[in-house]
Amino acid sequence: MLRITGGKVYDPANEIDGQIKDICIDDHGQIVDSVDGGRTIDATGMIIFPGGVDVHTHVAGGAMNFARAMTPEDHRRTQAFIRTKNRRSGLGGMAPTTFATGYLYAGMGFTTVNEAAVPVLSARHTHEELADIPIVDKTTLTLMANNEIMMDQMEAGEYERAKNVVAWYIWAAKSYGVKAVNPGGVAAWKWGADAKQLSSPIAGYNTLTPGKIVTMLATICDDLGLPHPMHLHCNNLGAPGNISTTLDTLKHLEGHRAHIAHSQYHAYGGDGWDTMCSATAQLAEYFNTHPNITTDAGAVLFGDTVTITADGPWQHLLYKLTGRKWGNLDVENETGCGIVPYTYRPSNLVNAVQWASGLELMLLIKNPWQVFLSTDHPNGGCFWRYPEIIQLLMCADFRKECIAKLPDKIKGRITLPEIDREYTLYEVATSMSAGPARALGLTQKGNLGVGCDADIVIYEEEDDVARMFSHPRYVIKAGEIVIEDGDIKETPEGREFLVKPNYAPETHEFMRPLFEDCYTMQFDNYPVELERIENPVMQPLKLEK
């Protein structure tokens, strides 16, 4: 039992904006009206937020491991976690190791993360790694938009079957929802092609187009009643002028719920690298008039990182542009993956435009319930640098100082210098916790109301925003104090949220021959058993009636 008194509470889910309010936590790690006895934390002069929720990150699985293996140079220079009584050893850096990932997220006040890209084939591995990420709760999304068995059903116009297949896959991967990456493009990459036009047939198919996949998959997610809508990485990521593709994609989503991942990478104007500019104003305008769609920023921070995505063709292009290391994984008939270490430099005009675009989206989209804090970790920057973004959002003067350091040629390519908006603490709490939790359909997260999970972060109020957000005074996870005075006290295991969408029972046997025709593993070994998940929690579906 725990009582937190005297702190200024920012709880957007209950429209509490800085009021001083007591918070009580029972022995089950839930917030309650009152408690008798137990410890009391005097939070006078402190700020209380619901624990952070990362709506889009990459922290576990085959690709992440590949990235770790590819960047030994980063391991040598990065923060090392030395083993102590209650902490395992590990490394921070661009692609932190499993245990360190938990320590770093919790150390920053984040208590829930969504691993946004899991191929079914490596789901088992991913869950094993997630079990090794302590403290934080987890969800995973299954990569679907380039799955050939599903695409074949879509091509044949078999909507019901496609829906059953998707539902079967979600449960086979023990995941929480659907991720679509470059729909059709990764499948085309296996033919050496990409899919940049939503209306052109995908290589290897006669009539199926990326646009059809987008619409059908969004419909499937809605019909299955998934708590989180389709999580979409649009086609044509990173390319100058891709705003037209992105807007076209959004038109294919009319009438559906959807979450657009890392939209910064999809909001460029111009027609080549020389003329690339920010087109965030157009994209923000769309979000401002379409409340059914949420997004996360995918903001970029200058410095070293490693880019990881299922978007294999884009990673090959990035490798060609940089001449650095390149990793490519083929995930049989499901998806692909590319890994390229990258350095974002302020002196590089393209990088400068990307840096500005991420912030512009967060500032131009008016409703903080629609746009969430993310760097698409580790693609735009490492998650442990989120406090730097919060500082850029909260302090217009600091932003201006940073803009002044960009090359002169940036003028006219970005709109950031004209934006004066500053995030309030209430908006920050919405964008880093309440908003992403609601978008994920995690009703018990990002909310300090009675009955919700007691995931709470308490900051000492100070002027240096970046410092404040990177050094919480207390972090409470499921009612347990995990961080106190900047030290990790406890490292409890996190939970994993799963959904079991309904599918026709015969789907399993329908899949078997299709699978056994072309996969390298036995069908019966393919689905992940529920026993493989540590601390699973079934999240209800959003079905009408």
Partner 1 sequence: MTITLTLKQAPAVPLEAEVLSPDVFAELSNAEIRALIVYNGKRQVPLEEFFDVDGERSDELVLHGDLTKVRLIGRGMSKGSVTVHGRVGMHLGAHMKGGRIEVHGDASDWIGAEMKNGFIHVHGNAGGQIGAAYRGSLAGMKNGTIIVDGTAGLEVGMRMRRGTIILGGQAKDFTGLQMKGGTIILMDGAEIRTGAWMNRGTIISMKPIKLMPTFAESNDSNPTFMNVYARQLKRFGVNLPFAASEGIYQRFSGDLAVPGNGEILVWQPA
Please, what is the minimum distance in Å from the beta carbon of residue 485 to partner 1?
27
Please, what is the minimum distance in Å from the beta carbon of residue 318 to partner 1?
16
Task: Quote the CA–CA distance of 380 and 417 in Å, as a whole number.
Answer: 21
Nearer to partner 1 among residue 110 and residue 302 (C-beta): 302
Please, what is the minimum distance in Å from the beta carbon of residue 68 to partner 1?
11
Nearer to partner 1 among residue 313 and residue 341 (C-beta): 341
Task: Quote the CA–CA distance of 308 and 118 in Å, as a whole number.
Answer: 12
Please, what is the minimum distance in Å from the beta carbon of residue 511 to partner 1?
40
One-letter amino acid for residue 239 of the chain: A
Task: Quote the CA–CA distance of 309 and 63 in Å, as a whole number.
Answer: 8
Nearer to partner 1 among residue 74 and residue 296 (C-beta): 74
- Which is nearest to 336 in space by CA: 525, 167, 208, 147? 147
> Residue 274: how many CB atoms within 10 A of its CB?
10
Decide if 216 contacts 165 (C-beta within 8 A): no
Please, what is the minimum distance in Å from the beta carbon of residue 311 to partner 1?
23
Please, what is the minimum distance in Å from the beta carbon of residue 63 to partner 1?
17
Please, what is the minimum distance in Å from the beta carbon of residue 76 to partner 1?
7
Residues that bind partner 1 in the complex, under the rule CB under 8 A: 70-74, 76, 324
Residue found by looking up tokens 């989503």 in the block? 253
Type and span of the H or E element at 216: helix 210-224
Nearer to partner 1 among residue 52 and residue 338 (C-beta): 338
Residue found by looking up tokens 């056994």 in the block? 516
Alpha-helical (H) ranges within 140-208 are: 148-155, 159-172, 185-189
- Which is nearest to 100 in space by CA: 136, 72, 126, 127? 136
Phi, psi of 467 (to 5 degrees): -65, -45
Three-state SS for 68-109 is HHHCHHHHHHCCEECCECCECCEECCCCCCHHHHHHHHHHCC
Nearer to partner 1 among residue 73 and residue 401 (C-beta): 73
Nearer to partner 1 among residue 200 and residue 343 (C-beta): 343
Nearer to partner 1 among residue 73 and residue 485 (C-beta): 73
Please, what is the minimum distance in Å from the beta carbon of residue 73 to partner 1?
4
Give strand pairing partners of 16: 11
Task: Quote the CA–CA distance of 5 and 477 in Å, as a whole number.
Answer: 17
Nearer to partner 1 among residue 74 and residue 137 (C-beta): 74
Please, what is the minimum distance in Å from the beta carbon of residue 72 to partner 1?
4
Please, what is the minimum distance in Å from the beta carbon of residue 74 to partner 1?
8
Nearer to partner 1 among residue 39 and residue 76 (C-beta): 76
Please, what is the minimum distance in Å from the beta carbon of residue 383 to partner 1?
22
| Packing angle of the helix pair 507-518, 148-155 (nearest 10 deg) | 110
211 to 177, 268, 309, 418, 533: CA distances (angstroms): 20, 20, 21, 35, 34
Decide if 305 contacts 377 (C-beta within 8 A): no
Nearer to partner 1 among residue 93 and residue 446 (C-beta): 93
Please, what is the minimum distance in Å from the beta carbon of residue 300 to partner 1?
21
Give 146's Cβ-side CA count (13 Å radius).
Answer: 36
- Which is nearest to 385 in space by CA: 370, 394, 398, 374? 374
Nearer to partner 1 among residue 56 and residue 68 (C-beta): 68
> Residue 225: how many CB atoms within 10 A of its CB?
15
Nearer to partner 1 among residue 70 and residue 456 (C-beta): 70
- Which is nearest to 185 in space by CA: 219, 253, 235, 233? 235
- Which is nearest to 183 in space by CA: 216, 221, 157, 159? 216
Give strand pairing partners of 178: 142
